[in-house]
Chain A
Amino acid sequence: MGFNFHYLISILPDLFVAALINVRLAIIIITLAVVLGTMLTVLRSLKLRLVNAAIAVVISFVRGTPLLIQIFIAYYVLPVVGLDLSPEVAGVAAISFNTMIFVSESMRGGLASIDPGPLEAATALGLRPPLIWWKVVLPQLLRRLVPVLINEATIVVKGTALLSVITVVDVLRTAQQIASSSYRPFETLLGAAVVFLVLNLSISLAGKIAEVRFEATRT
Chain B
Amino acid sequence: MRFDVSILVDYWSLLAGGAWLTLCITLVAFALGYLAGVAVALVAILPGWLPKLVTGIYIETLRNIPFIIILFVVYYGLPFSGIRLPATLVGTVALALFASAYYAEIVRGALQALPRGQFESARVVGMSPAQAMWYVVAPQVLRTLVPPSTNMTLTMMKESAVLSSITVPELTYQSLIVQGNTFAPFEVFAAVTAIYWLIAIAIAELSRQLERRVGTAQVHSILANPIAARYLSLDARRPT
Please give the residue numbers on chain A whose beta carbons come within 8 Å of chain B beta carbons, in ascending order.
1-3, 41, 44-45, 47, 49, 52, 60-61, 63-69, 72-73, 76-77, 80-81, 108, 111-112, 114, 116, 119-120, 123, 132-133, 137, 154, 158-159, 161-162, 164-165, 172, 179, 185-186, 189-190, 192-193, 196-197, 199-201, 204
Contacts and interface: CB of A to CB of B under 8 A. Distances in A.
Contacts of B192: 69
Interface string B123-145: 00000000000000000000000
28 contacts: A2-B80, A60-B197, A61-B193, A61-B197, A64-B196, A64-B197, A64-B200, A65-B196, A65-B200, A66-B158, A68-B172, A72-B175, A72-B185, A73-B189, A108-B234, A111-B231, A112-B223, A116-B225, A116-B232, A137-B232, A158-B66, A159-B66, A161-B68, A162-B162, A185-B72, A189-B72, A190-B77, A196-B65
Given A68-B172, A111-B231, A114-B232, A193 B65 contact: yes
Given A119-B231, A186-B80, A197-B64, A76 B196 contact: no
B50 interface: no
B21 interface: no
A41 to B, nearest CB: 7
A68 B164 contact: yes
Contacts of A72: 172, 175-176, 185, 189
B80 A3 contact: yes
B30 to A, nearest CB: 16
Contacts, number: 150
B197 A65 contact: yes
Contacts of B154: 63-64
A114 B108 CA distance: 29
A106 B77 CA distance: 38
B83 to A, nearest CB: 13
A114 B230 CA distance: 12
Contacts of A185: 72, 76
A160 to B, nearest CB: 8
B167 interface: no
Give chain A's interface secondary structure class. Answer: helix
Q: Which 9 A-B pairs have the closest CB atoms?
A: A116-B228, A64-B200, A66-B161, A200-B64, A76-B185, A161-B66, A158-B66, A66-B158, A185-B76
B70 interface: yes
Nearest to A159: B66
B227 interface: yes
B186 interface: yes
A158 B65 contact: yes
Given A47-B236, A196-B64, A197-B64, A132 B161 contact: no
A204 B179 CA distance: 39
A65 to B, nearest CB: 4
B105 interface: no
Given A65-B158, A68-B161, A189-B76, A52 B185 contact: no
Interface in B80-118: 80
A62 to B, nearest CB: 10
Given A65-B196, A65-B197, A154-B64, A52 B236 contact: yes
A197 B61 contact: yes
Nearest to B199: A64
A190 B231 contact: no
Contacts of B218: none
Interface string B149-191: 0000010001111101100000010011001000001100100
Nearest to B190: A77
Given A69-B192, A137-B231, A196-B69, A80 B186 contact: yes
B6 interface: no
A33 B224 CA distance: 31
A112 B225 CA distance: 12
A179 B66 CA distance: 18
A149 B66 CA distance: 18
A204 B68 CA distance: 21
A52 B69 contact: no
